[in-house]
Amino acid sequence: MMNNLKEKYKALAPYLNEKTRRLYAASECLIGTHGIKSEVSKATGVSYREIRRGLSELRSGEGQEEVASGRIRNPGGGRKQVKNKTPELI
């Protein structure tokens, strides 16, 4: 199973962003066998914590709008521009 999972992930990885990577790994865990999260984490390199977060998102339907719109992060996230923080530098 693990080799098959590695091959599938390797084929898809270049097309995935951080959210879709997390959701893909979580979807592989939906079969629900014991230890599957650990196995998926090893095969994909996605952390156990991110897989749990992805499972939560899949079950709740949370974040479907962002994936459809192409947006990954919330607006306003990230570091503020230096010119906005210290205008005297300009």
pLDDT tens by residue, 8-37: 999 999 999 888 999 999 999 988 788 889
DSSP category for residue 78: S
- Cα separation, 42 vs 48, whole angstroms: 9
Which strand (E) or helix (H) includes residue 38? helix 36-44
Indicate if the pLDDT at residue 90 is higher than 70: no
**Tokens at residue 3, please?**
């080799």
Spatial CA neighbour of 59 closest among 27, 21, 16: 27
Spatial CA neighbour of 54 closest among 6, 21, 11: 21
Does 75 reside within a domain?
Answer: no
pLDDT tens by residue, 28-68: 998 878 888 999 999 999 999 999 999 999 989 876 666 66
Number of domains composing the chain: 1
Does 88 reside within a domain?
Answer: no
Does 25 reside within a domain?
Answer: yes
